[in-house]
Amino acid sequence: MSPLALETPIYPCDNKLPTRQHCLKVKSLLKLNNDADKNERAMIYMQGADHSMRDDTDVELEFRQESNFFYLTGVDEPGFHVMIDLQTDLVYLIPPTIPDTETVWKGAPDSTSELLKKYDVDVVMEESKFVAYLADTLKPTVIHMLDNAVDEKRQVERPALLEGINCRISTDAMREALYEARLIKFPWEIDLIRQATYISSHAHMALMQATKTRQTTEKQLAAYFRWITACYGLDRQAYIPIVASGPRAATLHYTKNNMPLPEDALVLVDAGAECQCYSSDVTRTFPVSGTFSAEAKAIYNIVLAMQEAVLDRLAPGVMWTEMEDLAIQVLCNKLTEIGILVGTQEELIESGVPYAFYFHSLGHSVGLNVHDVGGRTVYHADHKLEYSPFLVDRALETNMVITVEPGLYFNDTYLKIWTQFPGYQRFFNMDVLERYRSVGGIRIEDTVVITPDGHENLTVAPKTVEAIEALMSSKSKKPLQSNPTLSIPSSNNLIFSSLPNVLSLS
């Protein structure tokens, strides 16, 4: 494997994100319309994440902002607070108080003018001054907060910044409003996800090309993925990369990544980088040897048919539950065609038999979390937050960003349960099943955005058998392009700079 041919990278611009749009959207979703609400001086308060240390050490862990706080502020730094005045729509940012002695280790913090330039806020105020300003000038009568600080008796623990403030704390509506707001993206949010997905797609392509160049391991591929995305300016992953080869590909969230790649096996790579805290989520499965076996090709094409059937129908107004059912129908029919399952579609699906090979949901929302919030009913049970399945009673809407990720797995533990369950043996042709068992597992995952006329697939990594084999062939061992600048489509050119081609493999 030769090193990447690196040009000087042009990283994403540092323009401030227009997060005031988010604040106003959350305000509208709080539905403060009745007379009692109108007579109250209402505010939103949220505290961002702080530094964390490794257990019993002074070794600092990598910081990543709490997603709801980032949604309202765009701040990816520790120790901040935000207060939003719902009467005036002013956004107050309260930075942490940093002692002069700490600047020896961390450097001087941003000044007020620098913070105002970086973030879409109106006022930056020191903690000590803001407490008095809140009590004497703003005088809120109700402050809306998340219920993170609620104990088992549903009593709110008042944050230190609000101690001594005589007002009511409300946690009834904040989470629901935030989650609903985050489900439907603004165009600039989609741009950030598009950029993360575009770069992650090319990293997946580089892994396909690199796998055949020498014997390698799951861990090396995971590290290589991280390095490539970092070369493009995305130095943080949306989740721990999954690099699962052979039978390990049948384990859904396998993250040990500690085995050599068998030459005659498939490798499933589920990995995506973050762009300014916005996630991508991409999975590709490809043969270590560069060529699919007959059995692997047959199973792979079943999963691809599942995904294509769903993608062909995605549009606003489509029920997600119907897409879940469609994927199962395709899976059932294809497994029957190759002889693994025996019976009619009706009796197989009614008995749940296809779920022996496919035991996760079809997809999820993508945003500031890779499994993003929204589209699920939130309720409390036994003092715990519980959520309904994704879009269980709701149609797709324009500017939702979701994954479509069907899979087919030969998981030994799960298959043992299904094939030995009384009365179910008749649904399985074990001789045929054994012929395909060594395939392990296959998942194909794209991140898509719902558009007014259908959908846009943000994922550009190849996914047909022919395209993958062509990319992995020796004839494809050349730079992706003759060292041009990659241009990423964007509806907000202020946020992006163009990116160079850093994936030149020889």
Domain boundaries, the chain: 19-182, 184-379+387-473
Tell the burial category of 90 from Cβ atoms under 10 Å away from its Cβ (0-12, 13-18, 19+).
middle
Q: Do 82 and 93 form a contact (C-beta atoms < 8 A)?
A: yes
8-12 long-range contacts, CB within 8 A, separation 24+: 8/500, 9/231, 9/232, 9/233, 9/499, 9/500, 9/502, 10/233, 10/485, 10/497, 10/498, 10/499, 10/500, 11/233, 11/497, 12/195, 12/233, 12/275, 12/276, 12/495, 12/496, 12/497
- Summarised one tens digit per residue, pLDDT across range 219-243 is 999 999 999 999 999 999 999 999 9
pLDDT, tens digit, 9 for 90 and up, residues 3-26: 343 343 434 445 789 999 999 999
pLDDT tens-place string over residues 490-505:
544 444 444 545 544 3
pLDDT at residue 474 in the model: 59
Assign residue 483 a region (left: φ > 0; alpha: ψ between -120 and 50; beta: otherwise): left
Q: How is residue 40 written in tokens?
A: 């109250």
- As a whole number of angstroms, the distance between CA 263 and CA 44 comes to 56
Q: How does pLDDT run across 356-367, given as a tens digit for each residue? A: 999 999 999 999
> What is the gyration radius of the CA atoms in the chain, in angstroms?
25
CA gap 187, 12 in Å, rounded: 16
- CA 249 to chain CA mean position, Å: 20
Token representation of residue 77: 């730094």
Across the chain, mean pLDDT equals: 88
Q: What is the pLDDT of residue 9?
A: 40
**How many CB atoms sit inside 10 A of residue 358's CB?**
21
Q: Closest by alpha carbon to 286, among 274, 276, 273, 300?
A: 300
Strand, coil or helix: what is 462?
coil
The burial class, CB within 10 Å (0-12 / 13-18 / 19+), for 482 is: exposed
Does the pLDDT value for residue 172 go beyond 80? yes
Residues 9, 502: Cα–Cα separation, whole Å: 8
Least confident of 83-87, 385-389, 407-411, 470-474: 385-389
Mean pLDDT of 327-354: 97
Q: Which CATH number is 19-182 given? A: 3.40.350.10
The residue to which tokens 């009745």 are assigned = 34
Q: Specify the range with the lowest mean pLDDT, choosing from 131-135, 272-276, 310-314.
A: 131-135
What pLDDT band is residue 479 in, cutting at 50, 70 and 90?
A: very low
Torsion, CA 25, CA 28, CA 31, CA 33, rounded to 10: 170
| Tokens (6 digits) for 262 | 């068998």
Q: What is the share, in percent, of the chain residues with pLDDT greater than 90?
A: 74
- The pLDDT of residue 467 is 96
Quote the CATH superfamily of domain 184-379+387-473.
Creatinase/methionine aminopeptidase superfamily (3.90.230.10)
Enter the DSSP assignment of 109.
P
Whether the predicted pLDDT of 486 surpasses 50: no
Band the pLDDT of 34: cuts 50, 70, 90.
Answer: low
Q: Give the C-alpha separation, 69 to 92, whole Å.
A: 13
- Is 445's pLDDT higher than 70? yes
Evaluate whether 19-182 and 184-379+387-473 have a shared fold. Answer: no
Query: pTM of this prediction?
Result: 0.91
What is the per-residue pLDDT for 148? 74
Contact 396, 317 (CB under 8 A): yes
pLDDT band per the 50, 70, 90 thresholds, residue 324: very high
Residue 164: pLDDT band (50, 70, 90) is confident
Tokens of 482: 């003759």
- Cβ-Cβ contacts under 8 Å for 357 (sequence gap 6 or more): 331, 335, 408, 409, 410, 415
The backbone torsions φ and ψ at residue 313, rounded to the nearest 5 degrees and listed phi first, read -110, -5
The confidence score (pLDDT) of residue 153 equals 52
Residue closest to 99 by CA, chosen among 73, 127, 75, 69: 127
Can you tell me which residue has the tokens 């960003």? 401
- 283-310 pLDDT per residue, tens: 999 999 999 999 999 999 999 999 999 9
Q: How many CB atoms lie within 10 A of CB 472?
A: 23
Q: What is the pLDDT of residue 372?
A: 96
Higher pLDDT, 486 or 156: 156
Q: What is the structure's pLDDT at 402?
A: 98
